[in-house]
């Protein structure tokens, strides 16, 4: 008995230690610093909720938050839709399905910063070249307005992450027992009915995982945002992560940035956890 406990601690200690050193301790330090006038090197006073009060009046932070919500909402829907679609496509009887899996997954291997610059080139140069050639005005001036900046970010994110989400769905799609599909076939179900009533409930755990991943990653996007639009034009496409970095490192208001980060952490935690809770409830067991 004793021995078993020791083994337990033996295995958990390295993880526990590193986790507390790089996550848990910094979280509490950050929380503490958000109540001080810390400047990155040292602090003089504990100022209580001053920073949080200021946050309520910070219009740019509010705008970033709102932009991030909109972005997350749209990108989570499109990402899961596209990811699932790709998964269904490459688990079908297509001959090129193996190569397609690789192709769809590949964007995920490129770093967000580089992707941002590549897409910036596509949106600004390629789009305008095609637009000039065809006379289609919707392709001109991308990334120079808030709307095109928004959709540019969505396209970039979906293009990058859909492949990853696809892999998760593939795993669950392949885990569906053949008998169930077969019996549905015998019962005369149409493809849509099969998908809606057999496949979809069975891949619900995959849905939970993917929703969680897309939700939290969309909330926290920074590098794509930085390289694609840089927050421009006029900070209209600045997401919360970027707003925090700017506050802390470019305006040099470390403690204020920290308090924004605390609020952001709480928001992301609430959304992610409640999403997992509700999705879990819908999963079915075989």
Partner 1 sequence: MFKGKHFYKGLVLMSAAGVLAACGNDGDVPGTDGADDNGNGETEEEVSLAIMQGKVEFNNQFNELADMYMDENPNVSIEITSVGGGTDYFTQLTTRFSAGDEPDIFSVAGPNEFEQMAEYLADLSDTDAANAALEGTLTDVTGEDGVVTALPYNLEGYGFIYNKEVFEAAGIDAEAISTYEELEEAVQTIDGQKDDLDIEAVFAFPGAEAWVPGNHLSNVYLTHEFDENVNEAYNAETVAFEKGDEFQRMLDLQVDYSVGPVLSLDYSQQVEEYFSLGQVAMIQQGNWVYPTLLQMDPEFAENSVGMIPIPLEGYENQLPVGVPNYWAVNSNKDDATVQAAKDFLDWMYLSDEGKDFVINEFNFIPAYEGYDDMEISDPISQIVYDYSERGDTIGWVFNGYPTGWTNNEFGPNIQAYIGGEMTWDEMVENSISAWESLK
Q: Looking at the chain, list the stretches that DSSP marks H as alpha helix, in order from N- to C-terminal side.
A: 2-19, 25-33, 50-56, 59-91, 97-105, 112-121, 127-134, 146-174, 178-186, 191-193, 200-202, 204-219, 223-228, 240-245, 254-282
CB 155 within 8 A of CB 163: no
Work out how close the CB of 2 gets to partner 1 at its nearest, in angstroms, rounded to a whole number: 7
Q: Which stretch binds partner 1 (CB under 8 A): 186-194, 199-207, 214-222, 246-254?
A: 246-254
| 36 beta partners | 46
The yes or no reply on residue 217 touching partner 1 (CB under 8 A) is no
Work out how close the CB of 231 gets to partner 1 at its nearest, in angstroms, rounded to a whole number: 8
Taking phi over 0 as left and psi of -120 to 50 as alpha, with beta for the rest, 230 belongs to left
Residue 84 or 226: the one with the smaller Cβ distance to partner 1 is 226
Reply yes or no: is the peptide bond before residue 75 cis, omega within 30 of 0. Answer: no
How does DSSP classify residue 39?
-
Q: Which stretch binds partner 1 (CB under 8 A): 190-198, 247-255, 258-266, 272-280?
A: 247-255
Q: Which parts of 139-178 interact with partner 1 (CB under 8 A)?
A: 140-145
What secondary structure does DSSP assign to 177-244, as a single string?
A: -HHHHHHHHHTT--HHHIIIIIIHHHTHHHHHHHHHHHHHHHHT--HHHHHHTTT-STTTT--HHHHH
Residue 42 or 92: the one with the smaller Cβ distance to partner 1 is 42
Q: Could you give the string, one character per residue 42-81, with x where binding to partner 1 holds by CB under 8 A and - elsewhere?
A: ------------------x---------------------
Residues 6+ apart with CB under 8 A from 264: 219, 240, 241, 244
Work out how close the CB of 69 gets to partner 1 at its nearest, in angstroms, rounded to a whole number: 20
The yes or no reply on residue 3 touching partner 1 (CB under 8 A) is yes
Single out the residue of 96, 186, 234, 284 in contact with partner 1 (rule: CB under 8 A). 234
The yes or no reply on residue 131 touching partner 1 (CB under 8 A) is no
Residue 39 or 274: the one with the smaller Cβ distance to partner 1 is 39
Single out the residue of 158, 246, 255, 260 in contact with partner 1 (rule: CB under 8 A). 246
Q: Measured between alpha carbons, how far is 76 from 68 in angstroms, rounded to an integer?
A: 12
Write out the residues near partner 1 by the rule CB under 8 A.
Answer: 2-3, 6-7, 9-10, 13-14, 17-18, 21, 39-41, 60, 124, 140-145, 230-235, 246-247, 249-253
């Amino acid at each position: 008995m004793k021995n078993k406990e020791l083994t337990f601690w033996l295995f958990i200690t390295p993880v526990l230690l590193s986790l507390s050193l790089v996550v848990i301790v910094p979280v509490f330090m950050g929380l503490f610093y958000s109540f001080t006038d810390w400047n990155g090197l040292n602090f003089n006073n504990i100022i209580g909720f001053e920073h949080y009060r200021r946050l309520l009046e910070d219009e740019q932070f509010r705008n970033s938050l709102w932009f991030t919500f909109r972005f997350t909402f749209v990108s989570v829907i499109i990402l899961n839709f596209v990811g699932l679609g790709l998964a269904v496509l490459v688990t079908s009887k297509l001959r090129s399905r193996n190569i397609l899996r690789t192709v769809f997954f590949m964007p995920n291997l490129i770093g967000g910063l580089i992707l941002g610059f590549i897409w910036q080139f596509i949106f600004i140069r390629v789009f305008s070249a095609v637009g000039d050639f065809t006379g289609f005005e919707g392709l001109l001036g991308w990334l120079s307005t808030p709307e095109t900046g928004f959709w540019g970010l969505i396209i970039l994110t979906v293009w990058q992450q859909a492949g990853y989400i696809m892999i998760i769905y593939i795993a669950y799609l392949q885990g569906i027992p053949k008998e169930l599909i077969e019996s549905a076939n015998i019962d005369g179900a149409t493809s849509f009915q099969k998908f809606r009533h057999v496949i979809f409930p069975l891949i619900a755990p995959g849905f939970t995982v993917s929703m969680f991943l897309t939700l939290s990653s969309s909330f926290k996007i920074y590098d794509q945002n930085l390289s694609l639009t840089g927050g421009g034009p006029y900070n209209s496409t600045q997401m919360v992560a970027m707003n925090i970095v700017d506050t802390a490192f470019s305006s040099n208001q470390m403690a204020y940035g920290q308090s924004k980060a605390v609020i952001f952490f709480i928001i992301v935690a609430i959304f992610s956890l409640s999403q997992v809770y509700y999705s879990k409830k819908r999963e079915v067991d075989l």
